[in-house]
Chains A and B, each alone.
Chain A
């Protein structure tokens, strides 16, 4: 563990499982927004959205994590996240089933992901497991979720 994973996390639901993502990576959460579909090679890209004039790619987090893709519906929220790469900030939207709450995770509640999870390349994003209220919630690292090249190409397309 190079970096401490404690702090506030936004929890969201994917396929009835709660995941967490660091609140510092989150810009905002939006809902009921039109996703313009574009033909992409990458399957996990839903399309692009217009966020106050900016074109941001929308990624289906389910597909990104190797889960079964769900159709876009009204309850879906898009979490706008950003990460740094070589000094540049890249922004993308992650489509999730629904958003739950903000939780505060202490250090001792976090555990390393199991070896099994680590072996799965798609589960690279899961950087830790948080024990919170008798449930285990995987914590995702945004950096691993966003592929710089892809995002760039999408943004510029």
Chain B
């Protein structure tokens, strides 16, 4: 037998792993995922923060951009408009010159169109400048300049139209002058040719020539005057005309021909009208040259200068806009600075959080694993001790099997006895049941007899009751007769002597009444007796009946009990059969126990081997966790385990012997059961 001197049962408690917060309650993979997930989340947050920051900066930049663009656009627009103005002014100028040279509706239209374009451009700018002024960007100078330009252009247009009209008038007058001149000249030519063909006075001819010359001169001078505006030419032309007129007058006076006179007066008319026209023409020319044109030129100059100035203005940006732009840029700078700060903070927090989480998770993994490896070391030790315990248990098992066999024998013997008893029981029960049936039948008859008896007695009772009634009546009569007799006696006594005989009669009557009463009395007592007897008879009958009922009841009960006994006997035999089967089973189990004991022995050997392997694995684990050197301390444990394994092997042999004994016991059991 082994002694447990080598088994050290290491208590488990002091090796329990320390709990690091609640993290140890979750799966390892969950924790790792959680850790990495947390770090990713932190990264995400940092990224998002940066994105957010840049987004903000971007939007701010956009804002500034938009504002700058707005400013630029506005200024660009004004610039474009100013350039349009400049161009408009230039083209107006050019076309006006064209118009001056060649007055036509198309030129006029061109001038007006350009002037209108110019006006439109100015008005656009004015609108813009007014808007800017309202928004606080100062554009007062520009507004003023635009308004001035508008004034100039309007005035220009008016003046131009006036000029145009005047020029038209001038042309018309000039044409009239031409007409008049031409017709005068043609008339004169005609007359001259006539004069030459006829014999005319040389003087006349000369006069005619002179007239023609004068007129021609005048016309030439006019033409020259139109170009040079020289007043000398004008006066000379006028002089020429006057000369011509005078000559004509002189001719007219000298002429005899009425036709001639008519023609001459016509020429005179022509010349007069020419003169009139001419004077008008000169005044118009003057107006044109001294009023309209200078004004136009001045206006055009002003417009041009203003337009150019406008262009310059458009390119200027006011202080306010500059300030705004500067402010925007500075706000941009501050915002980017704050965003930078935010991002740095986020990064710092991320670093701190990340390192904390990674530290916590690493600890939560390594610490338990360390503890577990230590637990495993202890477990492998336990394994060895348990192997010993198993072998001891197998021994006990063998002993138990022996005892089992012995008790099985005893049980089968008692079973046999029980079976015999049960058979006897069944027999007796059957007999009892038969007797029961017989007794039931006789009881029936008795019951019937009793019923008849009871009926007879009731009849007796009835008749005796009636007799009693009759007797009572007789008694009543006797009593009253007595009273009567007494009364008679009283009367007789009253009557004295005379009533003596009557009193005797009364006495006799009384005596009779007495006798009747006595007889009634006797009858009544007899009747009473008979009633008593009858009552007794009834009560006896009732007693009999109840006794018989009880009898019946008890026989029923007996019958049911007998049934139950039969039932029980049956159950008993079934039970005995079951017990027999159970005993067989037990014997099988006993056999199996023996074989199991053998298995146990081999299993405990395996267990020892496994414990060995387990401690090897633990050494490996420890070396992983702590480094190679840590594994060497387990060598001692191995040694101990080996010695235990040898002990277990010894146990095995003992167990095998026991199990063969068990087999023999089992066989004996089976034989005994079969016998019973």
Contact residues of A with B, CB < 8 Å?
Answer: 8, 10, 23-24, 26-31, 75, 77, 99, 101-102
Contacts and interface: CB of A to CB of B under 8 A. Distances in A.
Given A31-B480, A31-B483, 4 more contacts: A29-B483, A29-B490, A77-B483, A102-B503
B189 interface: no
B510 interface: yes
B483 A102 contact: no
Given A8-B493, A23-B493, A102 B487 contact: no
B114 to A, nearest CB: 161
Interface in B242-283: none
B487 A28 contact: yes
Contacts of A24: 493-494
B510 A102 contact: yes
Given A8-B493, A23-B493, A101 B480 contact: no
B482 A99 contact: yes
A77 B479 CA distance: 11
Given A8-B493, A24-B494, A29 B487 contact: yes
Nearest to B486: A29
Given A77-B483, A99-B482, A99-B483, A28 B510 contact: no
B149 interface: no
Contact of A101 (B479, B486, B487, B494): B486
B482 A23 contact: no
A137 B623 CA distance: 143
14 contacts: A8-B489, A10-B486, A10-B489, A24-B493, A26-B490, A28-B487, A29-B486, A30-B483, A75-B479, A99-B482, A99-B486, A101-B486, A102-B493, A102-B503
Interface string B609-620: 000000000000
**Which label, helix, strand, loop or mixed, suits the secondary structure of the B interface?**
helix
Contacts of A75: 479
A102 B486 contact: yes
A27 B483 contact: no
B490 A27 contact: yes
Interface in B449-489: 479-480, 482-483, 486-487, 489
A75 B490 CA distance: 20
Contacts of B506: 102
**Which label, helix, strand, loop or mixed, suits the secondary structure of the A interface?**
strand
B288 to A, nearest CB: 174
A77 B493 CA distance: 19
B482 A28 contact: no
Contacts of B479: 75
Given A23-B489, A31-B483, A77-B483, A102 B507 contact: yes
A28 B493 CA distance: 11
A10 to B, nearest CB: 6
Interface in B323-370: none
Contacts of B503: 102
Interchain residue pairs A-B with the least CB separation, the first 4: A23-B493, A102-B489, A26-B490, A28-B487
Contacts of B480: 31
Contacts of B493: 8, 23-24, 26, 102
Nearest to B511: A101
Nearest to B490: A26
A75 B479 CA distance: 9
Q: Name the interface size band of chain B.
A: 10 to 19
A29 to B, nearest CB: 5
A28 B494 CA distance: 10
Nearest to A27: B490
B497 to A, nearest CB: 13
A12 B483 CA distance: 11
B504 to A, nearest CB: 11
Nearest to A32: B480
Nearest to A26: B490
Contacts of B510: 101-102
Max chain B CB contacts within 10 Å: which of A8, A23, A30, A102? A102
A31 to B, nearest CB: 5
B263 to A, nearest CB: 197
Max chain A CB contacts within 10 Å: which of B483, B486, B489? B486
A10 B490 contact: yes
B512 to A, nearest CB: 13
Contacts of A23: 489-490, 493
A8 B482 CA distance: 17
Nearest to B484: A29
A99 B479 CA distance: 9
Nearest to B496: A24
A30 B487 CA distance: 8
Contacts of B491: 28
Contacts of B482: 99
A59 B155 CA distance: 172
Contacts of B494: 24
Contacts of A30: 483
Interface string B494-522: 10000000010011001000000000000
Contacts of A99: 482-483, 486
Contacts of B507: 102
A91 to B, nearest CB: 14
Nearest to B493: A23
A102 B493 CA distance: 10
A99 B491 CA distance: 16
B629 to A, nearest CB: 130
Contacts of A28: 487, 490-491
Contacts of A26: 490, 493
Interface in B395-443: none
B475 to A, nearest CB: 11
A6 to B, nearest CB: 13
Contacts of A102: 486, 489-490, 493, 503, 506-507, 510
B496 to A, nearest CB: 10
A30 B483 CA distance: 8
Nearest to B476: A74
A30 B486 CA distance: 10
Contacts of A27: 490
A28 B492 CA distance: 11
A67 B503 CA distance: 33
Interface in B593-645: none
B86 to A, nearest CB: 160
Nearest to A10: B486
Contacts of B487: 28-29
A102 B502 CA distance: 13
B458 to A, nearest CB: 31
A8 B510 CA distance: 15
A77 B485 CA distance: 14
A109 B558 CA distance: 80
A23 B486 CA distance: 10
A26 B482 CA distance: 16
Nearest to A98: B479
A4 B483 CA distance: 27
Nearest to A102: B489
